[in-house]
Amino acid sequence: MKAPYFNAQTTFGPVKMSDYTGKWLILFSHPGDFTPVCTTEFIAFTQAYSMFENLGASLLGLSIDSNPSHLDWVYTIQELTGVPVPFPIIADRSGDIARLYGMLVPSSNYTETVRDVFFIDPTQTIRAILSYPAANGRSVPEMLRLLQALQTTDEYGVLTPANWIPGQPVLVPAPRTYEELLIHKENPNELGLHCVDWFLCYKELDI
């Protein structure tokens, strides 16, 4: 689905969804500022920022805390680490953006956003969503891995198997015709494939 449109105030000033057209966007929510798990996550996002940048992806955080709270928190993180948080954080006090994206906890006695991650492609289409509970921090390496998997799928028209990491063989889509099935079964080398069976074929990418 298309990513819902928004205008927002952030720690970097006003932003809108269309600002990210033509690039990948990792939009993620957190339950609240000055909380232990969220602080470790923002330190991890900051440390990995250049890796996301190298993959052509922008980071954009969100919670229902105010902009002054966000500013105070990112300043505290810089004081702790010596490194400024290099991406904006949306102040969604009304919860309007969180509702658009289904980020609010429906059963909570107070309003907070869950740990959602939205992978939004350059056409502003949501391609993947990860959700984590409040008590457990996200895996930044997994976010990077999934981003690279999505980009590999788009560029080469392939699939990525379980536990795939960049540099490993990929999968090709299963045959759609009987003729394709026979090639996979009887002469996979013709297509540069290694087939376990006609529907399960691997391919090395020359990248």
User: Would you please indicate which residues are annotated as catalytic (active-site) residues?
Assistant: 38
SS (H, E, C) the chain: CECCCCEEEECCEEEEHHHHCCCEEEEEECCCCCCHHHHHHHHHHHHCHHHHHHCCEEEEEEECCCHHHHHHHHHHHHHHHCCCCCCCEEECCCCHHHHHCCCECCCCCCCCECEEEEEECCCCEEEEEEEECCCCCCCHHHHHHHHHHHHHHHHHCCECCCCCCCCCCEECCCCCCHHHHHHHHHCHHHHCEEEEECCEEEECCCC
